[in-house]
Amino acid sequence: MDSAKPRVAIVDGCRTPFLRSGTGFRELMAWQLGQAAVQGLLTRVGVPFETVDGVVMGCVAADIATTNVAREITLGTGLPRSVPAYTCTVACISANQAVTNGACAILAGKAETVIAGGVETFSDVNIRISEKYRRFLLDITLFNRPKTWKDWIPHLKKMRPLDFIAPQKPSISEFSTGLIMGENADRLVKRLGVSRERQDAYAVTSHQRAVTAAENAFFDEEIIPVVVDGNTVDSDNGPRADANQAKLSTLKHAFDKKYGTVTAGNSSFLSDGGAAVMLMSEAKARELGLNPIGYLSHYAYSAQDPVEELLLGPAFSMARLFQETGLTLDEIGVFEIHEAFAGQVLANLDCMASDDYCRDRLGLSGAMGEMDMDKLNRHGGSLSIGHPFGATGARLITTCCRRLKQEGHRYGVVAGCAAGAVGSAILIESAE
């Protein structure tokens, strides 16, 4: 690594509790969860509001009423109306993209301070009316409005009673392939030979680690309590203290009903929450007398085949990151990798440990190496803590920074996969 290369200071990071969708945050809109995270971050750091030059937030299932949710969050927190804000979406790594976009603005000299992160709620996701009803409404209100009662007849003749009441079922499949991500996970683990037992064991470990972390107050420093209807929500409700291999082994297959091994127990669940980090130029952080929790040192993105390699983004993006920085797997002390599915994480680790795969598909001279599981997601991950699509990356970055300080390591990597077969890997350097 080039020690003279400019880095972006990560001043601090925080998040709301991550809750299972349909529970404690079911009445809140996404912008309100994002506002709570950003407001909490501003309060904790204590910089003047006019210091902030921009806000970038990730979001996937955008509410049509607040499509640029970053701007609504910015206005809701009381930041100056002159602060520009935009929303980006790259599926499960939307917050990763928001953070690296903010870092690029700082490195380009276009900003000194950027708030970046993401938000998601599936408690009140938009559900579309039927396509025929949509066409009917568009015709009669915008494109071919009836002027007399006779003009209504051609429109009404195209409709059936159910067209007016039957909604269009929300689709969670990949547009390019038609496959649901869970179906793709089943295909991946079968192809690579990742057993059901390994998947369930990994999921149990994720829950056990998250429960232990909560009991030891690890998350207290990063969670901003949210008041909902007079009640304070201050902890995640996803981690299961009763998770065990025997219980998970009884769950039915969620996708491939005949041969599948991916279940609800070894998959991440729909979640609501928001998260944010404050980025600054090193010079600005020094000027304000702030003590960063880490530095964003480098990043890499990848794109793979959406059928065979949809969930292998971490392996591809980390290979690129290591090629560009000259670092090796063994030199990284902390890994925070998004857990879409237990099988997805294990498949990536298997590929990284394979000489043939690393040479043939990742462009390396040999295997990256075997992952030290004590370095990986030590306090749980998306399988247990939760996965609000747009927010997860900011949580991973905050946790990585805090682990680097606590565990005394120099480098950490945050990585994830996303729909469309996109991968992200971000190199974090300790502030010590």
Confidence of residue 432 (pLDDT cuts 50, 70, 90): confident
Digit-coded pLDDT (tens) for 345-402: 999 999 999 999 999 999 999 999 999 999 999 999 999 999 999 999 999 999 999 9
Q: Is the pLDDT of residue 3 over 70?
A: no
CA-to-CA distance for 181 and 421, rounded, in angstroms? 10
Residue 111 near residue 53, CB atoms below 8 Å: yes
Q: Is the pLDDT of residue 4 over 70?
A: no
Cite the active site residues.
Answer: 92, 417
CA-to-CA distance for 161 and 158, rounded, in angstroms? 10
Between 364 and 6, name the one with better pLDDT.
364
Q: Is the pLDDT of residue 177 over 90?
A: no
Burial (CB count <10 Å: 0-12, 13-18, 19+), residue 163 = middle
So where are the chain's domains?
8-124+268-429
* Helix 94-107 / helix 392-407 crossing angle, nearest 10 deg: 70
Q: Estimate the share of the chain in helix, then strand, then coil, as percent rounded to the nearest 5.
A: 40, 20, 40
CA-to-CA distance for 140 and 121, rounded, in angstroms? 32
Strands (E) across 211-312 are located at 226-228, 231-233, 271-281, 294-303
Q: Tally Cβ neighbours within 10 Å of residue 154.
A: 11
Average pLDDT, the chain: 93
106-119 residues labelled b (16+ CB within 10 A) or e (exposed): beeeebbbbbbbbb
Average pLDDT over residues 100-110: 97
CATH architecture of 8-124+268-429: 3-Layer(aba) Sandwich (3.40)
Digit-coded pLDDT (tens) for 277-322: 999 999 999 999 999 999 999 999 999 999 999 999 999 999 999 9
Confidence of residue 169 (pLDDT cuts 50, 70, 90): low
Q: What percentage of residues in the chain have a pLDDT greater than 90?
A: 81
Confidence of residue 168 (pLDDT cuts 50, 70, 90): low
Q: What is the pLDDT of residue 389?
A: 97
Q: What pTM was computed for the model?
A: 0.93
Length reported for the chain: 432
CA-to-CA distance for 258 and 104, rounded, in angstroms? 47
Tell how strand 411-418 and strand 334-337 pair up.
Answer: parallel
Digit-coded pLDDT (tens) for 22-70: 999 999 999 999 999 999 999 999 999 999 999 999 999 888 889 999 9
Burial (CB count <10 Å: 0-12, 13-18, 19+), residue 44 = middle
* Helix 196-215 / helix 342-352 crossing angle, nearest 10 deg: 110
